[in-house]
C-alpha cells in the first residue's frame, strides 16, 4: 500500500515535469490560433526530446529533424552542431530526456494509463525488435538523407517523411485542421503517416512506450550515452538483496540492479521506490 502510494507520487512528479516541459517548449499560442509556426531566433536551438519543429506551438528545433536537414544539405555531409548538441545532452543525462523531457514520451505514458486494455510487459520478439531503432537511426536518419539527393543536391528527411509519428501528431494534424491551404494538399503520404500514428496509439494501450522501445532514433542515440552519462541510475551492490522487485516494476524491461546503465533505461525512477533495501538511486554519484 505504502509502496503503491510512493510509486504514484513518483509518477505524478515525473508527469508534472513532462507536462510543464511540453507546455514550455510549445508555448507559441499564436501558431495554434492561426495555423502557422514560430519563426523566431529560438529555432536556432534544438530541444532535447522529440518535438517536431512544425508543431504550431514549437519554440525550438527537433534534434532528429535538424540532424537530417544539415546532413541532407548540399553544403554539408556531417553536422558538428547537432552531433555536438546530442553529445552534450547525452553525456549529461542520457535517456533521462526520454523519461522526463520528451512530449511524445508523455503522450505514450498517458495512453498506457488508459484502463480496460490488458497490458503486456514483454513478448516473443521484443528483444529483437528493440534493435530496430538502431537500424532506423542508421538508415533513415543518416545514410538515406546523406546519400540520396534531389536534382539540386538536397536530401529528404527520410525518417520525418516516412516514419515519424511525432510530426504527424504535433504538426500534421493541427496544421491540416487549421490551415485551409494545407488541407487541400493532403494525399497518400498523410494517410500513411496517420496510419503509423494510429498503430502506435493502439500499441501504446497495451505495450509501454512502443515508439521509444522499437522505433525512436533519438532514444537509440541517448541510450548509447547511458553508459557514461553523469546523471545515471546507480545500484549499491552491498545493499542489494537481489529480490528482483526493480525488474518486476520496470516497464521498459530493464533489470536495474544488474544493469543500471542499460541503454533501455529511461531513468523514470520507479525502481528506486520499489527497492526494499534502498540500494538504487538516480543522480550524478552513488549515494
Partner 1 sequence: MKKKEFPIKALVTSLIGVAFMAFGIYRGEMATVLAKAIRICLECIGIG
Which residues, at least 6 apart from 151, have a Cβ–Cβ distance to it below 8 Å? none
Q: Is 102 left (phi over 0), alpha (psi -120 to 50) or beta?
A: beta
* Comparison of 46 and 111: residue with beta carbon closer to partner 1: 46
Q: Which helix (H) or strand (E) holds 172?
A: none
* Comparison of 57 and 171: residue with beta carbon closer to partner 1: 171
In the complex, least distance from residue 211 CB atom to partner 1, rounded to whole angstroms? 16
In the complex, least distance from residue 82 CB atom to partner 1, rounded to whole angstroms? 7
Q: Where are the alpha helices (DSSP H) in 101-216?
A: 103-112, 126-129, 132-136, 144-147, 158-162, 165-167, 173-178, 180-183, 188-206, 210
State how far Cα 208 lies from the chain centre: 13
In the complex, least distance from residue 68 CB atom to partner 1, rounded to whole angstroms? 9
CA-to-CA separations, 104 to 190, 242, 272, in angstroms, rounded: 19, 33, 24
* Comparison of 163 and 212: residue with beta carbon closer to partner 1: 163
In the complex, least distance from residue 126 CB atom to partner 1, rounded to whole angstroms? 28
In the complex, least distance from residue 157 CB atom to partner 1, rounded to whole angstroms? 5
The three cell numbers of residue 98 are 526520454
* Comparison of 53 and 214: residue with beta carbon closer to partner 1: 53
In the complex, least distance from residue 285 CB atom to partner 1, rounded to whole angstroms? 6
Cα dihedral across residues 272, 278, 283, 285: positive or negative:
negative
Q: How far is residue 103's CA from residue 54's CA, in Å, rounded to a whole number?
A: 14
Give contact residues for partner 1 (rule: CB under 8 A): 36-41, 43-44, 46, 52-54, 61, 65-66, 69-70, 73, 75-76, 79-92, 156-157, 160-161, 164, 167-168, 171-172, 175-176, 182, 185-187, 189-190, 192-194, 225, 228-230, 234, 236, 238, 284-287
* Comparison of 40 and 115: residue with beta carbon closer to partner 1: 40
* Comparison of 175 and 265: residue with beta carbon closer to partner 1: 175
Amino acid at each position: 500500500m505504502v509502496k503503491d502510494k510512493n510509486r504514484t507520487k513518483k509518477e505524478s512528479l515525473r508527469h508534472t515535469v513532462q507536462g510543464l516541459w511540453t507546455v514550455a517548449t510549445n508555448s507559441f499560442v499564436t501558431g495554434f490560433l492561426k495555423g502557422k509556426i514560430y519563426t523566431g531566433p529560438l529555432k536556432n536551438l534544438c530541444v532535447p526530446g522529440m518535438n517536431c519543429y512544425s508543431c504550431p506551438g514549437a519554440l525550438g528545433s527537433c534534434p532528429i529533424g535538424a540532424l537530417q536537414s544539415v546532413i541532407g544539405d548540399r553544403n554539408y555531409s556531417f553536422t558538428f552542431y547537432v552531433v555536438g548538441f546530442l553529445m552534450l545532452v547525452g553525456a549529461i543525462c542520457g535517456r533521462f530526456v526520454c523519461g522526463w523531457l520528451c512530449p511524445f514520451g508523455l503522450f505514450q505514458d498517458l495512453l498506457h494509463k488508459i484502463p480496460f486494455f490488458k497490458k503486456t510487459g514483454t513478448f516473443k520478439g521484443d528483444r529483437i525488435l528493440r534493435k530496430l531503432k538502431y537500424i532506423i537511426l542508421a538508415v533513415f536518419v543518416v545514410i538515406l538523407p546523406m546519400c540520396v539527393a534531389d536534382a539540386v543536391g538536397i536530401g529528404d528527411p527520410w525518417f520525418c517523411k516516412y516514419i515519424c509519428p511525432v510530426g504527424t501528431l504535433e504538426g500534421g494534424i493541427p496544421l491540416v485542421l487549421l490551415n485551409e491551404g494545407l488541407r487541400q494538399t493532403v494525399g497518400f503520404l498523410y494517410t500513411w503517416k496517420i496510419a503509423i500514428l494510429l498503430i502506435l496509439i493502439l500499441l501504446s494501450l497495451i505495450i509501454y512506450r512502443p515508439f521509444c522501445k522499437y522505433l525512436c532514433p533519438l532514444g537509440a542515440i541517448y541510450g548509447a550515452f547511458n553508459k557514461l552519462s553523469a546523471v545515471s541510475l546507480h545500484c549499491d551492490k552491498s545493499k542489494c538483496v537481489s529480490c528482483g522487485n526493480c525488474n518486476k516494476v520496470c516497464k521498459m524491461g530493464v533489470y536495474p540492479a544488474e544493469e543500471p546503465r542499460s541503454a533501455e533505461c529511461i531513468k523514470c525512477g520507479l525502481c528506486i521506490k520499489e527497492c526494499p533495501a534502498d540500494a538504487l538511486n538516480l543522480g550524478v554519484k552513488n549515494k
